[in-house]
Structure 1
Amino acid sequence: MSTMKTKRFVATTVFVAIVLLQSFVPFLGSLPLGAFIIGASVTIVPMTAVLAGLVLGPRSGLVVGLFWGMTSWIRNLMHPGTIGSLIFSNPVTALVPRLIVGLLSGYLAFLVMKKARSPWWGFFLLGAFGSFLNTALVIASTTVAFKLFPVSGMGIPHAHLFTWLVGILGFNAGFEMIANGLLVLLIGRVLVAKLPNLRPE
């Protein structure tokens, strides 16, 4: 294994470790805004997968997205009894959106840095888009799953399911897009400057 591949492997492992910490240690993976905006709790794990794709390329983004999805799936299987655990105990919903976010972020980051003269605004858009894409894919996959395998209880309606999911999952979406966009912008600038050669051509 070449020195550059070894460095990229180590960096990917660091991003995976960060996702694991964010997933299992309270407050590392979310910003509780309830004290300022009632009911809002902003998930910031998407920015880690986006940053991995940005700095290390789509393959590393995919790996980090995989671990993000796996930890989400396992955590919700271990703690049943909530709407969130019901949604993310489905492996398709837990895994597929996160895999796509990590992979697509890597490809989009390549375009941003190649085409944009000053790509910093693109970093914000990458973070915001990664957060939006995760939420949108979770809503879409959950709608399909609940239609194919109807569930009862917890106030889950049989009619207007998509609208209901948009209401409960989409409430935080705007806050999450802003938070993840700003974090990718601030952290991404530093990482790209410090680790300029880790991204594969």
Structure 2
Amino acid sequence: MKRKETLNLTITALFAAILLLQTFVPNIGYVRLIPALPAITTIPLTIAIYASIMGPKSGLLFGLFWGITRLVLAYTQPGDMVSLMLFQNPLISLVPSILAGWFPGLIVNRMQQHKLSYVLSGLTTSLTNTVFVIGLTSLLFMNHAATLLRYLGNTSGSQSLLVVLVTALGFNGIVEAIFTAIVTPIIALPLNTILKRVAV
């Protein structure tokens, strides 16, 4: 039992270090393709792998850690005005991140670590993040959307905030989801096998 606890602590420390590098070193965790819009993030891959091998409870806490780093980044190194406006709000920073860390562990556990569960884990992590960021933003900025719409490139205000958010952030979400769904099983499956052997 003590050996397993030590192993889990080591894994958590390693993944936390990776997440910090992705967050604060440019172009590792956040890859900016369009300067005015939020960057495509590779962090859901890290979250999906960790939650898949550690379970939903640990995944939820790791998602919270991601949300906190996201909030800190928005105040210290905002890459664009949209990211600043969105992620300086604790609800938008924390809630999608926490849920993105919780769901993949649930899926892998429910499907008893079937190979397909790791694909769905990666897919769900990215989609949860994207859907909840868009949903919470549309709700929280519903009554004062003009400034955000302007930074999103909709100066006329002819479209609803939700439509503009889906258009602006949807591409990022699709790219992230495909990438995470493909790579998660490639890394998580063999890693999980190795960890089971080491823990014995």
* Residues 71 and 89, structure 2, Cα contact 8 Å, conserved in 1: yes
Structure 1 residues without counterparts, runs of 5 or longer: none
Larger deviation: 142-151 or 94-103? 142-151
Identify the residue that residue 88 of structure 1 maps to in structure 2.
87
Cα offset, 1:160, TM superposition: 0.5
Q: What letter is aligned with 1:54?
A: S
Q: Secondary structure at the match of 2:26?
A: coil
Q: Which moved more, 1:143-152 or 1:81-90?
A: 143-152
Partners of 2:90 and 2:32 in 1: CA distance: 26
Q: Which residue of 2 aligns with 1:138?
A: 133
Aligned residue pairs: how many?
A: 191
Contact 1:55/1:198 (8 A) holds in 2: no
Instruction: Give the C-alpha shift of residue 159 in structure 1.
Output: 5.1
Q: Deviations over 1:72-118 (max 9, x none)?
A: 1111122455112111111100111010111121111101225xxxx
Q: 2:62 aligns with which of 61, 64, 75?
A: 64
Structure-2 change in CA distance of 1:32 and 1:185 (3 Å) = farther
Which residue pairs with 2:49 in the alignment? 51
Q: What code does the residue aligned with 1:71 have?
A: T
Shift in alpha-carbon separation, 1:150–1:197, aligned structure 2, 3 A: farther
TM-score, normalization by structure 1: 0.84
- CA positional deviation for 1:149: 4.9
Secondary structure in 2 aligned to 1:113? coil
Task: Provide runs of 4+ in structure 1 moved above 6 Å.
Answer: none
| Structure 1 residues 155-178: Cα deviation after superposition (integer angstroms, max 9, x where no partner) | 464851100100111012221111
Structure 2, gaps ≥5 residues long: none
Change (3 A) 1:83 1:33: closer
SS at match of 1:26: coil
Contact 1:53–1:106 (CA<8 Å) still a contact in 2? yes
Q: Note the alpha carbon deviations across 1:29-58, whole angstroms, 9 max, x for none.
A: 145678xxxx99642101111111111111
CA, structure 1 residues 187+172, in 2 after alignment: closer, same or farther (shift >3 Å)? same
RMSD: 2.6
| More moved, 105-114 vs 45-54 | 105-114
Give the aligned residue type for 1:102. G
Q: Which residue of 1 aligns with 2:100?
A: 101
Amino acid at match of 1:123: Y
How far the C-alpha of 1:189 sits from its partner, in A, is: 1.4
Letter of the aligned partner of 1:161 in structure 2? Answer: L
